[in-house]
Amino acid sequence: MTALDTAPTTTPLSVAMREGSMSEHEQAEHAGFTTDLMAGKINALGYLHYLEGLRTVYRALEKVGRELATTSPVDGIHDTQLERSSALDADIDYWAARAGVAAGSHSSPAAEAYAARIEATVDNPARYAAHHYTRYLGDLSGGLAIGRILARTYELDADGEGLSFYRFEQIEKPKVYKDGYRAALDALPVTAEQRDEIVTEVKAAFGCNQAFFVELGENLAAYQR
Ligand code: HEM
């Protein structure tokens, strides 16, 4: 046996995270609410409630992110350019007006449970990193496709009101950014135990998104256009 054969092979963290959550990702793509959203069948009220839930989640994500920004391993991936809270505030005002309802009147137990899960990572930066990856890399991937569909469905200007969530003003090339993000993940100084913890938490983060979609799906009749 050569030295090469015995060298330990460690899957890069970014690959372990993607591969470890593949079936959860597929499930998220096929949730009732997501399918209708991608088909342009969700009305302004449904989209507003979706954004309001996301705001609950991103407030937690970005509050804890700022608290952990200088701690390892979050310091390798934290970037205020990714933050979505202000964009969500602006979009919520737009969609509430369009739906003809007051902003902030909808509550989402699933979004609150998701936010609580994120808040509980404040003592465990490795687990926080899993949430950071699940949301922001998703936003820079399939999320951008959702933005394009919404622009078409609602005849909106992608650079105009209502779609701020999909605009990363300071990130010109999402693909380049994502490649850099994955490289940063792979360079994180994590122990084997933390790696496993991160992959497990990515699955849990997908589970939180799934629960949120299921909850939205319960109201589908009111949300279909
Ligand atoms: C309609 C729903 C969705 C569609 C169509 C979709 C589509 C995609 C596509 C095409 C990619 C690959 C992009 C690339 O190669 O760079 C991707 C990646 C990703 N998506 Fe989704 N997605 C959806 C929902 C979600 C949800 C709900 C989440 C979690 C919040 C999510 C999280 C991710 C993540 C983390 C990645 C990056 C994977 C990696 O490269 O490590 N996606 N998505």
Q: Is residue 115 part of a domain?
A: yes
Cβ(134) – ligand 1 distance below 6 Å: yes
Tokens 């700022």 appear where? 66
Look at residues 24, 49, 25, 23 and name the one whose alpha carbon lies nearest to residue 37.
49
Which atom of ligand 1 is closest in space to residue 145's alpha carbon? 5
Q: Helix (H, G, I), strand (E, B), or coil: what is residue 225?
A: coil
Cβ(34) – ligand 1 distance below 6 Å: yes
Q: Do 191 and 10 meet the contact criterion of CB atoms below 8 Å apart?
A: no
Q: Is residue 55 part of a domain?
A: yes
CA–centroid distance, 155 to ligand 1, in Å, is 24
Count of domains forming the chain: 1
CA–centroid distance, 22 to ligand 1, in Å, is 9
pLDDT tens sequence for the chain (225 residues): 444 555 456 899 999 999 999 999 999 889 889 999 989 999 999 999 999 999 999 999 999 999 999 999 999 999 999 999 999 999 999 999 999 999 998 999 999 999 999 999 999 999 999 999 999 999 999 899 999 999 999 999 888 899 999 999 999 999 999 999 999 999 998 999 999 999 999 999 999 999 999 999 999 999 999
Which atom of ligand 1 is closest in space to residue 14's alpha carbon? 41
Q: What is the CATH number of the domain that holds 170?
A: 1.20.910.10
Q: Is residue 48 part of a domain?
A: yes
Tokens 């054969």 appear where? 5
Q: Is residue 148 part of a domain?
A: yes
Domain that holds residue 164: 28-223
Q: Is residue 9 part of a domain?
A: no
Q: Is residue 7 part of a domain?
A: no
Q: Is residue 6 part of a domain?
A: no
